[in-house]
Amino acid sequence: MTDKNVDLGVQFGPLKLANPIMTASGTCGYAFELRDFVDMDRLGAYITKSITLEPRMGNKPQRTYEVASGMMNAIGLANVGLDKFIEEKIPLLEKMNVPVIVNVAGKEVPEYVKVAKEVSAQDCVAGLELNVSCPNVKEGGISFGTDPKLIQELVGSVRQACPDTFLIVKLTPNVTDITVPARAAIDAGANALSLINTFMGLAIDAEKRKPILANRTGGVSGPAVKPMALHMVNRVYNEVAKDAGIPILGMGGITNATDAIEFILAGATGISVGTNVLINPGCLNEIEVGLKEYLIRHHETKLSDLIGKLK
Amino acid sequence: MNQERIARRGQFQGVIVSHCPFGQGYNSLIIRFEGIASVTIAKAQPGQFVQVACGPAGITKGTTLRRPFSISGVTLDGDTTCLEIIYRIIGPGTEALANMSVGDMIDVLAPLGQGFKLPKDPDAKCLLLGGGIGLPPMFFLADRLAQQGVDRVGFAAARNIEVVQNDIVAEAIVDNPLVPSKAMKHFNASDTGSIIASDDGSCGFKGNILEALEGFLARHPDWNIATMYACGPEPMLKALALFAQAVDMECQVCMEAYMACGIGVCQSCAIELAGGERSYKLVCAHGPVFNGREIKW
C-alpha cells in the first residue's frame, strides 16, 4: 500500500476536509503568518486567532512562561478588532485554499453576536469557533464557559443571529464535569465542539515571591495537558457527542502524528495543534505525513474509520 | 506553498561545525547550512535573530520552547552559509544546547525579526555600544560596517577587569594592553579603536558605557552626528536612548524579551511603546531593533 491509497479526509460538520489537521486559535495568526514555515494548502482547515469587537492590546508582559512539558500563557486576547479584521485580514483569508474558521471572543453576549454575524457573512468564512473559554481576560471568556446557563444563552443567541453558520464551541477544561458545558452547547445549537482550551495555572518566582506572569494566572498548554485532554475528548465523545452526531475538534499537547491518532481514537474528528506550532511550525505538515504512515502500517485505508475506535 | 515566492525566512536544519568556549561562561556555536537554507540565511542582517531548538533535530521538540539568539556572524562560503551565535548558559535550554556536539544536526527558524538600519552614506559614523551578552549582534554589525567601509567605534561595558579578562568583553576588544592574549577581531577595525568601560576603572575607562560615550563625544565633536547602535542590559539601553534623545542623536536599540514563537504569532514578547495610551509592539516581529524613541523606558 502507498500513501496514494490512504484517505485522510474527514467530514467535520458540513465541511469535507482533506485531512483532520487544523491550527489552534492564538498560535497561528490571522492568515499567512506561518507560510514561511508551513505549507498552508496542506492543512485540513485554518482557524484564526480570536477576534473581538474592539481591538485589544493584550495583557502586560510577561505573558508566557515555559513549564515542565509545556508552557503557560496570558496574552489577553490581543487582537486587531473586528473592523481591522474585516478590512485587512479577510482579503488575505480569501486567498486561503483551505476552509477558514474564525475564532470569535467577547465580553458579553451582544458583542459575540455582532462579531459572529459580521464575520460569518464573509464568503471566505466556512465557520466560527466561539471562544467561551479564555482564562486570561477578566470579563467574559471563561466565565461563560464554566456556567452552562451562560453557554446556552450565548450559543443560542449566536445561533439565532447566524442560523446557517457552522458553529463550533470551544470549551474550557476548568470545570468539574466537562459533559455539562458540552451538552449545554449542543442543546443551544452548536454544530461541533472544540476540546480543550488551556488549564488555569499559576507560576511563581520564589525568589521575588511574585507571580511570574503579569496577569498572575495563565493557561497551561502543551504535552503536559495531553492526558487530561484525551480523557475529556473521550468522555464527551462517549457520553454526549457520539449520539448527538456532533464532531469534536480535539487538541491539547499534540506534537506529532501519534498524538493526533490518539485524539482520533478517543473520538475527535479533527485535531488542532497549538503550542507545538510555536516550537516546531513544520509539525503541521509532518503530522499529515505521519498519519498516512500510520494508516499504511495498520493496513487501514480511511482515517475516518478510526474516529472513536478506542478499544 | 507558492514555490515562486522566495521566503525571507524558514525552518531549517544545519550541521554544527564548531562549538567552543568564548570567554568564560559563553559558547560560540557555528552552524553550516546548505541549499535553500544557505541562500536564505546568507541574507540575514545584523540585529536579526534565530530561534534554536536546543536539542538534536528530528527528535520530538514538544517539551521545550525554542531559545532566541541574536546572530553574531554570517559567512557565505560557496554553496554553504555558516551562522554563528554566542550564548551564555543560563537555564535548561542553553544547557541542552551546550551538550550538542560538532556534527550534530540542529533545527532553527531563521533569520527572524527586523535588524539594524545600516547607514547608506559611506561617510556615516557609527557608534557600537554593547554590554555583556548584548555584544554578539554588535560583532555582526561591526563586520558588516567594515565591509561597507563605514567609520565606527566600538564600546564594551564590563563591571571590572576580571570580567574583562574572562568575559565575552575580552573577546570583543582589539589591542587592549590589559588583555593582549584575548585580543580579537570581533568588535572593531576602526582607526579610532575600541573603548572599554569598567564600573570600577580596573580596565579602560572608569565608569559606565554612557559616561565613556560622553567623554568620547567631548573629545571627538565630529562624532556628534554619528548613529548609536546599542544592545545590552535594559538599564544600559535606557540610559543610552535617553541620552540620544537629549542630544538629538539617532539611537537604534536591540531589545530582548521573553519569547515563545519568535515569528509573530503568539504575542508573548510585547514591549510597551512610548506615548500616551498603552500600546505594544512585538520584539520578535517588529523588532528586536527599535528606534530608542519608540520604547517606553
Q: Name which of A41, A43, A11, A52 is nearest A24 in CA terms.
A: A43
* Alpha carbon distance A77, A58 (integer Å): 6
Rounded mean pLDDT, A202-214: 97
- CA angle (A20, A25, A31) in 5-degree steps: 85
* Alpha carbon distance A258, A162 (integer Å): 36
* Alpha-carbon distance values, B18 to A16, B42, B72, B132 (Å): 49, 18, 14, 22
When mean pLDDT is compared across A15-19, A90-94, B65-69, B75-79, the lowest value belongs to: B75-79
User: Exposed, middle or buried by CB within 10 Å (0-12, 13-18, 19+), for A155?
Assistant: buried
Nearest CA in chain A to B58: A280
The H-or-E segment that residue B33 falls in is strand B26-34
**Three cell numbers written together for B140:** 555582526
Nearest CA in chain B to A42: B1
* Alpha-carbon distance values, A248 to A8, A17, A95, A237, B193 (Å): 16, 14, 27, 7, 65
Q: Name which of B87, B98, B96, B77 is nearest B32 in CA terms.
A: B77
Cell 563586520, located at residue = B143
Nearest CA in chain A to B1: A39
Count Cα atoms within 13 angstroms, Cβ side, for A60.
8
Helix ranges (H only) for chain B are: 35-41, 92-98, 136-148, 161-166, 168-172, 209-219, 234-247
Q: Is A73 on the interface with B (CB under 8 A)?
A: yes
- Which residue of A37, A61, A69 is in closest CB contact with B63? A69
pLDDT at B189: 47
Looking at every residue in chain A, the average pLDDT score rounds to 94
How close A262 gets to chain B, by Cα (Å)? 16
How close B107 gets to chain A, by Cα (Å)? 9
Greater confidence, B220 or A294? A294
CB neighbour burial string for A173-184, b if at least 16 within 10 angstroms, e if fewer: bbbeebebbbbb
* Alpha carbon distance A167, A178 (integer Å): 19
The secondary structure of A157-224 as a DSSP string is HHHHHSTTS-EEEEPPS-SS-THHHHHHHHHTT-SEEEE--PEEEE-EETTTTEESBTTBEEEEESGG
The secondary structure of A73-93 as a DSSP string is E-----B--HHHIIIIIHHHH
Cell 515566492, located at residue = B5
Report CA torsion sign: B17, B19, B20, B24: positive
Collapsing DSSP to helix, strand or coil, A272 comes out as strand
Rounded mean pLDDT, B255-259: 95
Greater confidence, B94 or B63? B94
Evaluate if residue B5 carries a pLDDT over 60.
Answer: no
* Alpha carbon distance B204, B177 (integer Å): 10
- Partner-chain contact A66 B64, CB within 8 Å: yes
**Three cell numbers written together for A301:** 485505508
**Three cell numbers written together for B42:** 546568507
pLDDT at B166: 58
Confidence label for B62 from pLDDT (cuts 50, 70 and 90): very low
Enumerate the active-site residues of A: 134
When mean pLDDT is compared across A139-143, A273-277, B211-215, the lowest value belongs to: A139-143
Rounded mean pLDDT, A189-208: 97
**Three cell numbers written together for A9:** 479526509
Evaluate if residue A141 carries a pLDDT over 50.
Answer: yes
* Alpha-carbon distance values, A150 to A40, A132, A155, A300 (Å): 35, 9, 8, 42
Evaluate if residue B201 carries a pLDDT over 90.
Answer: no
Asked if B74 and B83 count as a contact pair (C-beta separation under 8 A), the reply is: yes
Rounded mean pLDDT, A203-210: 97
Render pLDDT for A234-267 as a digit per residue (tens, 0 to 9).
Answer: 999 999 999 999 999 999 999 999 999 999 999 9
How close A233 gets to chain B, by Cα (Å)? 21
Asked if A102 and A31 count as a contact pair (C-beta separation under 8 A), the reply is: no
What are B273's strand-pairing partners?
B295
- Which residue of B257, B258, B264 is in closest CB contact with A33? B264
Greater confidence, A25 or B187? A25
- CA angle (A93, A99, A105) in 5-degree steps: 70
- Partner-chain contact B261 A277, CB within 8 Å: yes
Evaluate if residue B259 carries a pLDDT over 70.
Answer: yes
Collapsing DSSP to helix, strand or coil, B270 comes out as strand
Q: Name which of B185, B179, B232, B168 is nearest B27 in CA terms.
A: B168
Q: Name which of A57, A45, A55, A62 is nearest A80 in CA terms.
A: A55
CB-CB neighbors (< 8 A) of B7 in chain A: 36
CB-CB neighbors (< 8 A) of B259 in chain A: 64
- Partner-chain contact A37 B10, CB within 8 Å: yes
* Main-chain dihedrals φ then ψ at residue B107, nearest 5 degrees: -105, 125
pLDDT at B190: 44
- Partner-chain contact B107 A78, CB within 8 Å: no
When mean pLDDT is compared across A170-179, A221-230, B163-172, the lowest value belongs to: B163-172
When mean pLDDT is compared across A15-24, A281-290, B153-162, the lowest value belongs to: B153-162
Greater confidence, B198 or A184? A184
Q: Name which of A66, A64, A90, A65 is nearest A78 in CA terms.
A: A64
Q: Name which of B53, B205, B71 is nearest A37 in CA terms.
A: B53
- CA angle (B155, B158, B163) in 5-degree steps: 130
Cβ neighbours of residue A160 under 8 Å, at least 6 residues apart? none
- Partner-chain contact A278 B265, CB within 8 Å: yes
Evaluate if residue B13 carries a pLDDT over 80.
Answer: yes
pLDDT at B184: 41
* Main-chain dihedrals φ then ψ at residue A270, nearest 5 degrees: -120, 160
Asked if B130 and B75 count as a contact pair (C-beta separation under 8 A), the reply is: no
* Alpha carbon distance B292, B297 (integer Å): 9
- Partner-chain contact B280 A281, CB within 8 Å: no
- Which residue of B109, B267, B272 is in closest CB contact with A37? B109
Collapsing DSSP to helix, strand or coil, B181 comes out as helix
CB-CB neighbors (< 8 A) of A62 in chain B: 258, 268
Render pLDDT for A45-101 as a digit per residue (tens, 0 to 9).
Answer: 999 999 999 999 999 999 999 998 899 999 999 999 999 999 999 999 999 999 999
- Partner-chain contact A279 B7, CB within 8 Å: no
- For chain B, how are helix, strand and coil distributed in percent, rounded to 5? 25, 30, 40
Integer-rounded Cα radius of gyration of chain A: 18
